[in-house]
Structures are given as structure tokens and as C-alpha cells.
A and B are shown apart, each in its own frame.
Chain A
Amino acid sequence: NAGVTQTPKFQVLKTGQSMTLQCAQDMNHNSMYWYRQDPGMGLRLIYYSASEGTTDKGEVPNGYNVSRLNKREFSLRLESAAPSQTSVYFCASSALRSLDYNEQFFGPGTRLTVL
């Protein structure tokens, strides 16, 4: 099992460009999450999908959109990239068998730079 995979690993964009970060999991997990991690700010939740067909905003959703394509895949889109979106982006998944059972497993991350 590959676990959680993310593409691409690295990306450089110019201000105003758009791109989609891809995430897939092969653990048959119900829930998927997108985080960003910045120095001194810790991990911050952007969007999450508790189950196929649902998505909800997290702590920092502005400037992002998501799509839960199917149970395996959850993508994050930047419509018009800004330098403030320079960060490392992590996707995670969880079986979420109950509301309190939320062991999350992370992908390797995408390092994004916006010039």
C-alpha cells in the first residue's frame, strides 16, 4: 500500500497563476484533509471532507477550493496564486470510524513557492 500520495512534490508559480494539488489514498479512508504548514504557524487546516460528497472549510480556506472526486481522491485548487500562499501543503486521511477516532495519516507534502 502506498498510503497517501501527493503530486507534485515541488512547484513554482507566478502570482496570478492557477494550479491543482492532487492527493490520493489507498487505505479506504472516509475522511481527507488539506493542511498548510508555515514556519512558526504550525499545521493549519484549509479544507476537509468528512465523507465522499461533502466538503467543509477549515481555519484558512480563503483563496482555495477543493473537490472530493471520489473516495480515494481529494484535490486542492489555487485559482489565482498569491505570494502569501507560499507554503508546504500536506494532505491527510483518516478512517474516522467515529467522531473521536480520528487518527490521520499524512502524505509526503508539496512545497509550493509563489513568486
Chain B
Amino acid sequence: QKEVEQNSGPLSVPEGAIASLNCTYSDRVSQSFFWYRQYSGKSPELIMSIYSNGDKEDGRFTAQLNKASQYVSLLIRDSQPSDSATYLCAVNLQGAQKLVFGQGTRLTINP
């Protein structure tokens, strides 16, 4: 089992709808979780960090964490064509000084 798993997609969502991206992880005691956005040919950009169970909102983005079920998700409300990118989930294994990344989900927002 991979340490961090994401559906590779592509995920296609109409403009204005909610895009939902999911990530599961295997290390039960992981404490911190991150979402990165990566446009084609560019470097990953940190968009959300979440450390506690529940929801964390930042503008159109909401991160959701459920440690009991070992999943973290990212919701993008009012999706825009500029949201089309690959979204990477990353998990900081407890006690480790490094992140483990999922393979990413490619999201396409259709006008």
C-alpha cells in the first residue's frame, strides 16, 4: 500500500461547480497535511495546510481532515478555468522531517 494515495484523474468539472479532490494516507499517527497546486511546467505551490480534524477554509478552498478514517480532501468552490492544474496531497509522517507526496490528481475545469 502506498503511503499517500490519490486518484490520478483526470477529473473534469464544469465551471462554477464544486471540485472535490481526495487523498488517503497509511500512517495513522501523521499530524500535518498539505495541498499543493502545480500548473503544467511549473513548480508545486502550497495552497492549504491542515493540522486538526475538521474543516479549514481559505477563500474558495476548503480542506477537510478526518484522522480516524485517514483521509484528507480539498474542495474548490465556484471552480474557475484557472483552477485547472494537478493537485498534490502531501503528508508529514510523525517524527519525520520530510513530506510524502501522492501522485497528484489532474483537474480540468470546463468553461
Most chain A Cβ neighbours within 10 Å, of B44, B96, B97, B102: B97
A-contact 0/1 string along B6-48, CB 8 Å cutoff: 0000000000000000000000000110100000001111100
| CB-based contact A42/B97 at 8 Å | no
| CB-based contact A43/B46 at 8 Å | no
Chain B residue numbers with a CB within 8 Å of A106 are: 43-45
A-B contact count (CB 8 A): 54
B107: min CB distance to chain A, Å = 16
Chain A residue numbers with a CB within 8 Å of B43 are: 90, 106-109
The reply on B101 being an interface residue by CB < 8 A is yes
Chain B residue numbers with a CB within 8 Å of A58 are: 98
Residue of A nearest to B88 (CB): A43
